[in-house]
């Protein structure tokens, strides 16, 4: 079993600047202050607002570009577009060491997982996130804590080795997503529990779940989300083909894989660290209906 919880906590951290490097933000801030000073001086000295208007218009475009990339990084838009643009490979024809995208049915290996809150059995991946709405009395121990917004307070995210049956060739491969492997999941959580200002009472199942994890069960604004991939789901994985005797495996790349600049979507490059795991949209829809 592979514990991915720390990666999820860092991913939800509000102070991260990805995919824009911090030094770029410093440079842009400096240029903005210089440009604003010069344009303001020209407005006062020669009474010409053309430069100021042009500067503000250009600044708004840059700000919109940065905001767009920040938002897509949080929703993994660049990785989703990268995944959809990759052609599906045929395991029978794939060469050793080749980066491939394989789509097929998932089945459990020697170790299977059970989701934390719903207790869904026979899973190859599970993720449970607990958010708390921060007021003036915000607990400083929160990872993503800010006043008057939802902050991630607890996280459980796990993956394990599993099998995938390639729908093109019918071959079965082992996907190495267990202990010691790097995994980038594209499995989005669904909201299961959310208390409101008018009803902050916690249900008995939620209280029990909180107590089992030594978390406070006091009435407050909470939101619990959970996502998982069960055996039989249609999944897509991106990784490196490795063959050992008669066993075909999909393993993590030795280096991070970049999505590259996606100019058609105005997106900056994003690094993918490890095996990329995604669930088909059809499977997600079926899962939502079953709930």
Residue 13 has what pLDDT?
53
Assess if residue 155 is contained within a domain: yes
Average confidence (pLDDT) over 107-118:
92
**Same domain as 190, residue 273:** yes
Pair 276, 83: CB distance under 8 Å: yes
What is the domain count for the chain?
Answer: 2
- Look at residue 140 and tell me whether its pLDDT is greater than 70: no
Residue 17 has what pLDDT?
57
- Look at residue 107 and tell me whether its pLDDT is greater than 90: yes
Mean pLDDT taken over the chain: 84
Assess if residue 284 is contained within a domain: no
For 25, half-sphere exposure in the C-beta direction (CA atoms, 13 angstrom radius) is: 11
Range of the domain at 31: 22-74
How close are the terminal C-alpha atoms of the chain, in Å?
26
- Look at residue 34 and tell me whether its pLDDT is greater than 60: yes
- Look at residue 114 and tell me whether its pLDDT is greater than 90: yes
Assess if residue 5 is contained within a domain: no
**Same domain as 247, residue 199:** yes
Pair 164, 102: CB distance under 8 Å: yes
Residue 14 has what pLDDT?
47
Confidence of residue 283 (pLDDT cuts 50, 70, 90): very low
**Same domain as 249, residue 153:** yes
Assess if residue 35 is contained within a domain: yes
Q: Where are the beta strands (DSSP E) in 96-137?
A: 99-108, 123-133
Average confidence (pLDDT) over 260-271:
86
**Same domain as 137, residue 57:** no
**Same domain as 184, residue 91:** yes
Assess if residue 288 is contained within a domain: no
Residue 264 has what pLDDT?
83
**Same domain as 243, residue 144:** yes
**Same domain as 271, residue 215:** yes
Average confidence (pLDDT) over 154-182:
91
Final residue of a structural domain among 74, 101, 135: 74
39-76 pLDDT, tens per residue? 888 888 888 788 889 899 999 999 999 999 988 888 88
**Same domain as 69, residue 184:** no
**Same domain as 110, residue 248:** yes
- Rounded to whole angstroms, the Cα distance separating 131 from 154 reads 7
**Same domain as 250, residue 107:** yes
**Same domain as 200, residue 64:** no
Assess if residue 106 is contained within a domain: yes
- Look at residue 29 and tell me whether its pLDDT is greater than 50: yes
Residue 198 has what pLDDT?
77
- Look at residue 285 and tell me whether its pLDDT is greater than 50: no
Residue 159 has what pLDDT?
94
- Rounded to whole angstroms, the Cα distance separating 230 from 158 reads 13
């Amino acid at each position: 079993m592979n514990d991915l919880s720390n990666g999820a906590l860092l991913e939800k951290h509000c102070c991260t600047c990805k995919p824009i490097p911090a030094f770029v933000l410093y440079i842009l801030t400096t240029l903005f202050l210089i440009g604003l000073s010069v344009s303001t001086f020209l407005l006062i000295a020669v009474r010409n607002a053309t430069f100021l208007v042009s500067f503000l218009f250009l600044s708004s475009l840059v700000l919109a570009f940065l905001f767009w990339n920040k938002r897509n990084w949080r929703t993994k838009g660049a990785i989703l577009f990268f995944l959809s643009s990759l052609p599906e490979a045929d395991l029978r024809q794939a060469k050793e060491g080749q980066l491939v995208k394989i789509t097929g049915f998932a089945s459990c290996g020697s170790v299977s997982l059970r989701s934390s809150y719903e207790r869904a059995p026979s899973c190859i991946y599970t993720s449970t996130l607990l958010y708390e709405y921060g007021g003036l009395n915000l607990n400083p121990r929160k990872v993503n804590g800010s006043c008057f917004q939802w902050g991630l307070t607890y996280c459980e995210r796990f993956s394990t080795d599993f099998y995938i049956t390639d729908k093109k060739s019918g071959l079965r491969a082992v996907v190495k997503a267990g202990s010691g492997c790097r995994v980038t999941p594209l499995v989005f959580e669904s909201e299961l529990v959310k208390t409101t200002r008018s009803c902050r009472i916690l249900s008995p199942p939620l209280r029990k779940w909180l107590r089992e994890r030594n978390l406070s069960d006091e009435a407050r604004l909470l939101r619990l989300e959970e996502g998982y991939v069960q055996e039989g789901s249609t999944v897509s994985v991106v990784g490196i083909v490795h063959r050992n005797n008669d066993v075909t495996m999909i393993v993590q790349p030795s280096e991070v894989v970049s999505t590259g600049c996606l100019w058609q979507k105005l997106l900056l490059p994003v690094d993918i660290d490890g095996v990329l795991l995604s669930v088909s949209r059809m499977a997600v829809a079926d899962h939502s209906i079953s709930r």
